Amino acid sequence: LTAKLKDPTLITDKALVGGDWTSASADGKTFDVTNPSTGEVIATLPDLGKAEVVKAIDAAYKAQKAWAKKTGKERAGVLRKLNDLMVANADDLATILTTEMGKPWPEARGEILYGASYVEWFAEEAKRVYGDVIPGHQQDKRILVIKQPVGVVGAITPWNFPNAMLARKVAPALAAGCAMVSKPAAQTPLSALAMAILAERAGLDPALFSVLTATDAATVGKEFAENDKVRKITFTGSTNVGRILMRQGADQIMKLGLELGGNAPFIVFDDADLDAAVEGAMISKYRNAGQTCVCANRIYVQSGVYDAFAAKLKEKVKGLKVGDGFAEGVTTGPLIDANAVKKVKEHIADALSKGAKVELGGEPAEAGELFFQPTILTEVTTEMKVAREETFGPVAPLFRFETEDEVIEMANNTEFGLASYFYASDMAKVFRVAEALEYGMVGINTGLISTETAPFGGIKQSGLGREGSKYGIDDYTEIKYMCLGGI
């Protein structure tokens, strides 16, 4: 891997623990990071445990006090430099990302720029953490409201966006004056470490941003939840783990930011622009080989356009190319691990046993063990697993529906509420459907909704809080009200 990098110092075999780059855990354990496309070991890292988590938290706790005292402009300066360094090193960061995660290199580069956009955004927001002056409730009183950083934040992030999911957390945290102790997914820690290297180069006190490499995520999560120096946990991952963290944090009323699972409906009405809907479905379904929490999971097509939509989608999906993320023209990389492949196979087998048909794909791909063919299933019904569970793979199940009421009921019939999408042209229907969908985000006539300028987040069991936009920094501040008397 180092041979492919313009700057080989962006890759390390150490973790960043409370300001110190550490190559060994207290008990000397290590773990390997592998390339999912080839199975090759690309790095061996210290497998940290409770001792290192505590050390990182203690250091963050101390460093945060000085960081919080800095002006917004000073904090903004460091974040702006980090953004510039991420952009300047985007090629290398993308190479690291593709090697540890598998997504096509151009997509990885897109993720780096997307991650950097949050750093830029929150650099700007750092200067605008405004309070209020409220007229007093008695003649001699005035009310002042200020916003202060919550303190030390523990972050746990997933493997599907190894850079952006962390950037979305560390940028607002640092902008607000918090310190962060992070634990990236054990499959993809190198992108997080590279970001920490750049943050240090940007002038950040490294004690403010630890990156713990560990396979025992449960120990890290428990320490975050129970250590009274930690004031907030921000987590992106499965709803199940979100629930565990919520329970563990209950004793100290832990503040939580949770970006959890989705089960996104993608609805195509009879009056939709079908070519646009197919384009949107391609992006929303097959990006990252179907491994995003906002991926279309259930595609509902109104009966009048069902066959036409299926045919057009099939033509486009045939154009996808499965393979190693570094190969020219590849659009679809490997799935992250053997379990992911197993789940995709299970969902397809379950659907076929209940009457669905394979329109395209349906089998593992030749490129290697973890590769799967982009798949379209037709005649899918609500009894099948694909209707209820996130597939997290390149499988598009097409459900048929007749009426607006029926499809809204089906779309909302899930415990999840992250992203949703629909295509229609009638203006009144656009408003009715957008308001009726029980989701934190609705893409209307578009399959791509993620941007740092908008609030990303879910309702129901998809999470708590919002990342990005003018609302995003609020998740890292506390409101303090001061009552001034005797005026």
- Tell me the C-alpha distance between 479 and 474, whole Å: 9
Q: Which is nearer to ligand ADP, 186 or 436 (CB)?
A: 186
Kindly state whether residue 158 participates in binding ligand ADP, applying the rule CB under 6 A: yes
The question of whether 259 is a catalytic residue gets the answer yes
Kindly state whether residue 156 participates in binding ligand ADP, applying the rule CB under 6 A: yes
Q: Write out the two tokens for 210.
A: 């630890």
Q: Which is nearer to ligand ADP, 310 or 418 (CB)?
A: 418
Position among 38, 238, 413, 469 found at the interface with ligand ADP (CB under 6 A): 238
- Tell me the C-alpha distance between 471 and 42, whole Å: 38
Kindly state whether residue 250 participates in binding ligand ADP, applying the rule CB under 6 A: no
Q: Write out the two tokens for 63.
A: 């460093």
Kindly state whether residue 218 participates in binding ligand ADP, applying the rule CB under 6 A: yes
- Return the exposure string of 439-469: e unless at least 16 CB atoms fall within 10 Å of the residue's CB, then b: bbbbbbeebebbebebebbbebbbbbbbbbb
Kindly state whether residue 237 participates in binding ligand ADP, applying the rule CB under 6 A: yes
Kindly state whether residue 221 participates in binding ligand ADP, applying the rule CB under 6 A: yes
Position among 17, 166, 185, 464 found at the interface with ligand ADP (CB under 6 A): 185
Q: Which is nearer to ligand ADP, 265 or 463 (CB)?
A: 463
Stretch that binds ligand ADP, among 156-164, 300-308, 319-327, 436-444 (CB under 6 A): 156-164
Stretch that binds ligand ADP, among 27-35, 238-246, 361-369, 461-469 (CB under 6 A): 238-246
Q: Which is nearer to ligand ADP, 75 or 183 (CB)?
A: 183
Kindly state whether residue 162 participates in binding ligand ADP, applying the rule CB under 6 A: no
Kindly state whether residue 338 participates in binding ligand ADP, applying the rule CB under 6 A: no
Kindly state whether residue 36 participates in binding ligand ADP, applying the rule CB under 6 A: no
Q: Which is nearer to ligand ADP, 90 or 212 (CB)?
A: 212
Stretch that binds ligand ADP, among 63-71, 108-116, 214-222, 325-333 (CB under 6 A): 214-222
Q: Which is nearer to ligand ADP, 192 or 398 (CB)?
A: 192
Total chain residues near ligand ADP (CB under 6 A):
13
Kindly state whether residue 472 participates in binding ligand ADP, applying the rule CB under 6 A: no
CB of 236 to ligand ADP, least distance (A): 7
CB of 422 to ligand ADP, least distance (A): 26
Stretch that binds ligand ADP, among 26-34, 237-245, 459-467, 472-480 (CB under 6 A): 237-245
Position among 87, 244, 246, 444 found at the interface with ligand ADP (CB under 6 A): 244
Q: Token match 């045939």: residue? A: 318
CB of 391 to ligand ADP, least distance (A): 12
CB of 180 to ligand ADP, least distance (A): 14
Q: Compute the residue count for the chain.
A: 487
Kindly state whether residue 249 participates in binding ligand ADP, applying the rule CB under 6 A: no
Exactly one of 52, 259, 390, 452 is catalytic; name it.
259
- Return the exposure string of 354-376: e unless at least 16 CB atoms fall within 10 Å of the residue's CB, then b: eebebbbbbebbebbebbbbbbb
Stretch that binds ligand ADP, among 18-26, 74-82, 194-202, 240-248 (CB under 6 A): 240-248
CB of 53 to ligand ADP, least distance (A): 11
Known catalytic residues? 259
Binding site residues, ligand ADP, CB under 6 A: 156-158, 185-186, 217-218, 221, 237-238, 241, 244-245
